């Protein structure tokens, strides 16, 4: 896996956990790009993380790309349901 491309998966932990993960990613591995990925309710958290990192900790960052999508989730009781996804790409020069 390329060190240039790092991904932080956003889930149900406190927002600041993911903020720290993003900052650590940028600082520890010479990465110029970190992608946040989230689905369902965590989409809001992903946007919060991007905004907090960007405005409070690493003002030199840019949101270079945001994409949304849909994933099919297998349900325990059978069948599938759709869930929305988001990817937010943060870059610095």
Q: Could you list the residues that contact a copy of itself (CB under 8 A)? A: 40-41, 43-44, 47-48, 50-51, 55, 63, 66-70, 82, 84-86, 88
- β-strand pairing of 33-39 with 6-9: parallel
DSSP states of 11-71 as a string? -SS-HHHHHHHHHHHHHHS--SEEEEEEETTHHHHHHHHHHHIIIII-TT-EEEEEEEEEE
User: CB of residue 89 vs a copy of itself: minimum separation in angstroms?
Assistant: 11
- β-strand pairing of 33-39 with 80-91: antiparallel
User: CB of residue 84 vs a copy of itself: minimum separation in angstroms?
Assistant: 4
Is the Cβ of residue 28 or residue 66 nearer to a copy of itself in the bound state? 66
Is the Cβ of residue 21 or residue 43 nearer to a copy of itself in the bound state? 43
Is the Cβ of residue 1 or residue 81 nearer to a copy of itself in the bound state? 81
């Amino acid at each position: 896996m390329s060190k240039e491309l790092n991904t932080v998966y956003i889930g149900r932990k406190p927002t600041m956990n993911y903020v720290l993960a993003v900052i650590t990613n940028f600082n520890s591995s010479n990465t110029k790009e970190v992608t946040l990925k989230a689905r369902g309710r965590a989409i809001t958290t992903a946007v919060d993380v991007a905004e907090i990192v960007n405005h409070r900790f690493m003002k030199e960052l840019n949101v270079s790309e945001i994409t949304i999508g849909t994933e099919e989730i297998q349900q325990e009781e059978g069948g599938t349901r759709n869930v929305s996804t988001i990817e937010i790409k943060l870059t610095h020069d």
